[in-house]
Structure 1
Amino acid sequence: MLCPHCGDMDDKVLESRQNSSGSTIRRRRECLSCGYRFTSYERIEEKPFMVIKRDGRREPFDIKKVERGIRITTEKRNVSQETIEQVLQDIEDEVVLAAGTKREVTSQAIGEVALRKLYNIDTVAYIRFASVYRAFDNVAQFIEEIEQITHNMK
């Protein structure tokens, strides 16, 4: 490993330790040229899972895209930052489980998980998200969705 002090490539490992979850190994190293001691970390590089879009394209899953949609739909609503973060974590956890060993999930599955989570925290945000996700193109679709929500609340 490259010494951050002198740039030499020869070093020896003095000590190795795993973190508590077992996902990272911390190694204390000493440069054989200058004696400088430094720490390196090793972790598993996970292969990202893919999202299968409606048109058949595949792209890496990016929680930031989901976050952008959630933030827009909850804008000017009484939804705390903590709640939004928890919803995003829940969505990501469910999507990872849905992807399974194939490491692929459809964009529809992601949208349905997001809708379910939004429905539980704010029905207006749910309607906003649904209007974009389900591509509402007329008022009747809004009315139908709102009637469904009010029917479920009774």
Structure 2
Amino acid sequence: MKKNGNREEFNREKLLKGIVRSAEKRPVSMDAITNLVDRVENKLRSLGENEVSSQQIGEYVMEDLVNLDEIAYIRFASVYRQFKDMSVFYKELKEIMEKDKKKNQDQDHSGDK
């Protein structure tokens, strides 16, 4: 189901094209993108629901895409979430940067044991 309430069948190719567009000129292979779409599709099937909102599909994509390529994630999120202003966009960037910082700190301290 779309944001505007219209119903539309899940379109794998449309989702794939959107992710490819967000990953344009990024070091992301087509195999990685295809695998991401496969994982999203599998999540949707595992729900066992007749209808899933486009919002939920977008969230599944972003959960996976942020780990694949952060720039592609920001591009996808900026279109998908339709950021209303720079403060919302900045908040999203800040969250990613904080996750990166924590991940780097965890990696730095993993050898301390």
Question: TM-score normalised to the size of structure 1?
Answer: 0.62
Q: Which residue of structure 1 aligns with residue 24 of structure 2?
A: 75
Give the unaligned 5+ runs of structure 2.
Answer: 103-113
Higher strand share: 1
The structure 1 residue matched to 2:87, chosen from 140, 147, 153, is 140
> Structure 1 residue 137: deviation in Å?
3.0
Percent of paired sites with the same residue: 41
2:16 partner amino acid: E
> 2:33 matched to 1:65?
no
**Other structure's SS at 1:105 match:** coil
In the alignment, structure 1 segments of 5+ residues that lack a partner are 1-51
Q: Which residue of 2 aligns with 1:110?
A: 57
Aligned residue among 66, 76, 85 for 1:119? 66
Specify the structure having the higher radius of gyration (Cα): 1
CA distance in structure 1 between the aligned counterparts of 2:45 and 2:80, rounded to whole angstroms? 20
Q: Deviations over 1:45-99 (max 9, x none)?
A: xxxxxxx11121111111111111100000000001111111111111112222x
Larger RCO: Structure 1 or Structure 2 (Cα < 8 Å, ≥ 6 residues apart)? Answer: 2
Partner of 1:26: none
Structure with higher helix content = 2
1:95 aligns with 2:44: yes
Query: Root-mean-square deviation (CA), in Å?
Result: 1.1
